[in-house]
Structure 1
Amino acid sequence: MKWIGGKRQLLGHLIPTFTEAQVGASYHEPFVGGGAVFFALRAQGRATCARLSDVNQELIGGYLAIRDGVDDVISHLRIHASLNDKEYYYRIRSQHPRSAPEAAARLIYLNKTCFNGLYRVNNSGVFNAPYGRHKNPTICDETNLRAVSAALATSSLEVASFETVLDHVHCNDVVYFDPPYIPVSVTASFTEYSAGGFGNCEQQRLADVFRELNKRGAQLVLSNSDTDEVRRLYSGFRIDQVFARRNVNTRADRRGPVAEVIVRNF
């Protein structure tokens, strides 16, 4: 899925970073989102024993449905693809699916057809992104869905806070943190991936978890925006600056390369 802050653009930097890590017993990704890093590692035959989690219940439910019943998800997506238009989008957006495959298909359909692939919820946790202006969106990619199902076959999936990694990570395990970024300015803030957001307190707690796992001998990688606060939170660790093009802004002339950092403890 297209996901705000997704890591497809940074795979050229991130995957070599993971290659430098020694392969541990398990791979953990507590902000799995669109899963670009996980799926890239699986394509290389890595991360075969993975624990993937996120606080977004719809997202994890979608992955579980694809893993355990991909044919049913595909059947629902075929219907969405045949009926897609603006009126149909808002009708589906307002519905409450009755089954896991139906919910997964709804999530994928909305993700593929909403504005800019912007997953956004209100304070009640209800998805509220408007209809996008996509030309022939790929709503039902059967080949990819079956590949995703196969990649997830040996993975554990859980709705959980990032702090639960403390209950599962052991020495030499590999952990990738991709939290909602610290905003580079007051007006740049976007943390509404889930009801409640992800603010300064959560960023500090994440840095504390990072340091605790470092003490345990885990191999850690983290992405975030390149700000003074991020560099303060992770001082003492290796911090590499990279650039990615971000397309959240509604004005095309304000989209472009943005400085980000990759933090690691090895």
Structure 2
Amino acid sequence: MTANISSPAPPYLFGASRRRSDDLVLRTVPEFFGDYDEAFLGSGARALVMMRHHSDAGYRLHSASSELLAVWRALPGAVDEIAARVLEHAARHARSHFDEVRRSVEISDAERAARFIYLCGTAQGSGLANTADDFATARYGRDTVAFDEANVRAVGGCSQTAMCEWMPARSSTSSPTFAKTTTCFSSRRVQAGCFRVLRCRRSAS
């Protein structure tokens, strides 16, 4: 099924329950804020809503999975290559190709992104379950590839302003931490539903 491109879905198969409606996300966001900081990136559904409605903000996306972050780093500038490589994987899709791709060591973010999208769309279980070890133990699960090229291209357009930072894995009992960067104008943190927004003071004109 092709996504409504005015409201793109996550660029990889992650489970329908991981989507978020615009209204649900936006009503928890303050009127003015600086940078959006997604502390635990999964499907990226919340971040996508924010990118579409606040395209002038800066974005920091954190995940324990460097492969997942490779998708978000590569999409803005390499969406054509990513789409072409996923389609190549789809044309060759079989159990043997799945295992070959799962074990491969890619050399560029675009290749890693295409690998991630392909494996998310073909492995047993959800992307959430398989990203814990970056598909090291993933098993073949589908005879068709879940991939929506038009949607991936739309996500690439939305994510052009995103800055991705890799966050090392830590125990689930530790508290969320936020990267310190020169783009944060205030240390005030606003808890907004399931995510946080770093709020900035706007100087008086």
TM-score > 0.5, shorter chain as reference: yes
Question: Distance between the aligned counterparts of 1:47 and 1:86, measured in 2?
Answer: 43
**How far is 1:112 from its partner?**
0.6
Larger fraction in strand: 1
Aligned residue in 2 for 1:146: 153
User: Which blocks of at least 5 consecutive residues in structure 1 are unaligned?
Assistant: 162-193, 224-261
Question: Distance between the aligned counterparts of 1:12 and 1:67, measured in 2?
Answer: 22
Q: Call closer, same or farther: CA 1:43–1:102 in 2, change over 3 Å.
A: same
1:159 is aligned to 2:166 = yes
Aligned residue in 2 for 1:180: none
Contact 1:121 1:129 survives alignment (8 Å) = no
TM-score normalised by the chain length of structure 1? 0.57
Aligned residue in 2 for 1:94: 103
Q: For 1:233-253, what per-residue CA distance to the aligned partner results, in whole angstroms no more than 9, with x for missing partners? A: xxxxxxxxxxxxxxxxxxxxx
Point out 4+ residue stretches in structure 1 off by more than 4 angstroms: none
Contact 1:6 1:33 survives alignment (8 Å) = no
Q: Call closer, same or farther: CA 1:4–1:143 in 2, change over 3 Å.
A: closer
Aligned residues: 177
Q: For 1:42-61, what per-residue CA distance to the aligned partner results, in whole angstroms no more than 9, with x for missing partners? A: 33345732222223111111
Identity, % of aligned positions: 23
Contact 1:120 1:128 survives alignment (8 Å) = no
Amino acid in structure 2 at the alignment position of 1:89 = F
Contact 1:41 1:47 survives alignment (8 Å) = no
Q: Call closer, same or farther: CA 1:137–1:145 in 2, change over 3 Å.
A: same
1:80 is aligned to 2:89 = yes
Amino acid in structure 2 at the alignment position of 1:43 = R
1:18 is aligned to 2:18 = no
RMSD: 3.0
Q: Call closer, same or farther: CA 1:152–1:263 in 2, change over 3 Å.
A: closer
Aligned residue in 1 for 2:145: 137
Q: Call closer, same or farther: CA 1:12–1:150 in 2, change over 3 Å.
A: closer
Q: 1:109 aligns with which of 99, 118, 122?
A: 118
Question: Distance between the aligned counterparts of 2:135 and 2:121, measured in 1?
Answer: 17
**How far is 1:35 from its partner?**
0.5
TM-score normalised by the chain length of structure 2? 0.72
* 1:28 counterpart SS class: strand
Amino acid in structure 2 at the alignment position of 1:52 = L
Q: 2:189 aligns with which of 203, 209, 218?
A: 218
User: Which blocks of at least 5 consecutive residues in structure 2 are unaligned?
Assistant: 1-11, 179-185, 198-205
* 2:41 counterpart SS class: coil
**How far is 1:111 from its partner?**
0.5
Contact 2:93 2:145 survives alignment (8 Å) = no
Contact 1:2 1:112 survives alignment (8 Å) = yes
**How far is 1:24 from its partner?**
0.7
* 2:113 counterpart SS class: helix
